Amino acid sequence: MLNWKVLENASQLDSILLESEQKPVLLFKHSTRCNISSVAKNRLETKWKFSENEIDAYYLDLLNHRDISNEIAERFSVHHESPQIILLSKGDVVLDASHLDINVDEIGEQLNLIK
């Protein structure tokens, strides 16, 4: 089961970077007004197969926190998309996917590569 941690403050990004030194961290940027974003979120939640010991997942409500999304794009040198996932490991982006390219199998492949 996917247990989202809520990303609602840009200062959390510092602790998320530190956290990614211990285990991978997934950031999911979601637009609550976008049907594609809702599909991507549903696909993540229904197909999630990872334990909280393997990976932490953060949910960003893009409409309420566009400033944090902008900070993510700048800090991690990724182009802003919505919906978007960014997988961090040891402070580095190891996966960046958006729209219908977001899928659990690709996250699993990246997790296997960084073990």
Domain boundary assignment for the chain: 4-114
Q: For 57, which DSSP code? A: E
Instruction: Return the pLDDT at 34.
Output: 94
Give Cα separations from 29 to 16, 22, 97, 109, 114 (angstroms).
15, 22, 11, 21, 23
Given a cut of 80, whether residue 115 has pLDDT beyond it is no
Instruction: Return the pLDDT at 2.
Output: 92
Enter the pTM of the model: 0.95
Sign of the CA dihedral 59, 108, 36, 101?
positive
Instruction: Return the pLDDT at 1.
Output: 83
Given a cut of 90, whether residue 53 has pLDDT beyond it is yes
- Topology (CATH) of 4-114: Glutaredoxin (3.40.30)
How high does pLDDT run on average in the chain? 96
